[in-house]
Amino acid sequence: MSAILKDLNDNWTYKYDLDQFATPEYWTILKESPYIGDCEDYSLTLLYNLSGKSMTKFWKELFTFKAKMHFCRVGGEGHAVLKYYGMYIDNIQKQWCTKQEMEAKGYVFRTFAYNPFEVFIKLHIIGKIKWPLK
């Protein structure tokens, strides 16, 4: 697991969806490096890589609740964090943490994680819509 995380961290570049895709929200799994994306992309890509790059295993982890996508706020900004077998990780910390460690750093978690159907919709439908910019 540490080699998978090291590869992602060594090849990760943060980029806002608006700058990369010209839309405010776009969830994607980055299937090869260099990995360029935002917090959701980091979490989804890490889960995909931890699942042996198998979409079947990726969805199995989500639907058995061994993996969860959590929405939280950090410094007032919306943010996504992956929970995997009880530990938490994101593109800011880039290492496994407890929820308490993240909360001590100012993370404010939403009461519920995204359910797997929400992840599916955001990954395959919502993120692909090009919302008009105002």
- The burial of 10, by beta-carbon neighbours within 10 Å (0-12 exposed, 13-18 middle, 19 or more buried), is given as exposed
Q: Is 92 exposed, middle or buried (0-12, 13-18, 19+ CB in 10 A)?
A: middle
Phi, psi of 82 (to 5 degrees): -95, 130
DSSP single-letter state for residue 113:
P
The pLDDT value given to residue 93: 97
Query: pLDDT means per 10 residues in the chain (134 residues)?
Result: 94 93 88 95 97 96 97 95 98 98 97 91 72 47
pLDDT for 123 equals: 86
Helix axes 55-63, 39-50, angle to 10 degrees: 110
